[in-house]
Amino acid sequence: MSNIAAHDTASHKDAIRMSAFIGSTAAPSADTATGRTRRPLIGITAGTRTLTDGAWAGYEATAVTTNYTTAIREAGGRPVILTPGEVWSADELADLDGIVITGGTDIDPARYGADALPTDFAADEARDAFEIELAQAAEENGIPVLGICRGLQIINVARGGTLIQHLADEDLAYPRSDQQLTEVPIEVDADSDVALALGTAPTVSAFHHQAIDALGRGLRVVARHASGVVHAVQSTSGAPVLAVQFHPETRADAAELFARFVGITSGSRAVAPSPKMATVQP
C-alpha cells in the first residue's frame, strides 16, 4: 500500500485507553443519530496467491483463510478484508474498529536490518509494506490490533524490533513447527489478556520457523515456551495491541481470544474521529 491516510485524534486515543483491553463479550455499538446498532468492523489483512488450475490459472487472487473471518464473525464482529495496494482515506480508516494482521510468509529481513538466509521463505514486499504501514498507523491513531503469527512479527518489526530468522539453527529445545501445525505448550503471565482468555498453561497450535528476537518499542512479553521462544506480546500503553505467535483461529478452545479483542474494539467508536489527517508512507 503506497498510502494510508489515518485520522489523528487525541480524544479517540483517550477513549481507547479508558476501555480495559480485558473486554467483555462484544455487543453491537449504538448509532445515536439513527438509533441503529452495528457490529464492530474488523479489518483482516490478506495476501495474494496465484491460481494454479481451471480457467483462471495464472491469475492473482486475494487470499485469507476463512478461519479468520469465521472467528471474528462468531466473536461478534464484522470482518472486512484489507488487501495490499489499497489506498485508505482518513474517513475510511476511521471506520475500522480494529485490525487483525494475519499469518503468512516471512518478512523481508532487510526490514529489520538482517541479511537473507537460505532458510528464508520468499518475502512478499507489497504485503510487507502494506502491513508494516498499517501497524504503524494503528499505533499512531489509537486503533486496536490483534496480530497472529506473521502478524506478531509484523507488529514487532514495525516497532523497531528484530526476528530470529530460523529457530532450528538456534540452540533451543523448541519443537519443529515449520512443516505443519504443531501443538506447543506455553507459559503465560497471569497478568495478561492471553491468560484471561486461555489460562496460564495452554497448549496452542503453532506453524512458524521464526520468532521475536529484540522486542519492539511499547511491547511486553506475556507468553513464552519453556525454551524462551516468545509466544505473545501486549502493548504497554496507548492503543491496545495483542499479538500471538500461534494460530488461535484454528482451535475452538481459543475462541475467547477473539471475543475479548472484538469486545474492546466496540468501545473504540466512543468518540468520532477528528478531521485532521496524517499520511503514513511505507
CB atoms within 10 A of CB 27: 13
pLDDT tens, 159-210?
999 999 999 999 999 999 999 999 999 999 999 999 999 999 999 999 999 9
Alpha-carbon distances, residue 16 vs 125, 135, 155 (angstroms): 31, 16, 19
Radius of gyration of the chain from Cα atoms? Answer: 18
Give the count of domains, the chain.
Answer: 1
Pinpoint the alpha helices (H) of the chain: 10-18, 66-74, 90-94, 125-141, 150-158, 193-198, 255-265
The single-letter code of the amino acid at 105 is T
What is the 8-class DSSP label of residue 60?
E
Query: In the numeric block, which cell numbers belong to residue 39?
Result: 457490529
Q: What does pTM read for this prediction?
A: 0.84
In this structure, what CATH number is given to the domain that contains residue 148? 3.40.50.880
Sheet with strand 145-148: strands edge to edge: 78-82, 41-45, 98-101, 145-148, 241-244, 230-235, 219-224, 187-188
From first to last of its 282 residues, the chain has per-residue pLDDT tens of 434 443 333 333 333 333 334 333 455 555 545 455 789 999 999 998 899 999 999 999 999 999 999 999 999 999 999 999 887 766 777 889 999 999 999 999 999 999 999 999 999 999 999 999 999 989 988 899 999 999 999 999 999 999 999 999 999 999 999 999 999 999 999 999 999 999 999 999 999 999 999 999 999 999 999 999 999 999 998 889 999 999 999 999 999 999 999 998 876 543 333 322 233 333
3-state SS track over 194-255: HHHHHCCCCEEEECCCCEECCCCCCEEEEEECCCCCEEEEEECCCCCEEEECCCHHHCHHHH
Residues with catalytic function: 149, 247, 249
Per the structure, the complete domain to which residue 57 belongs is given by 4-280
Bridge partners (DSSP) of residue 78 are 41
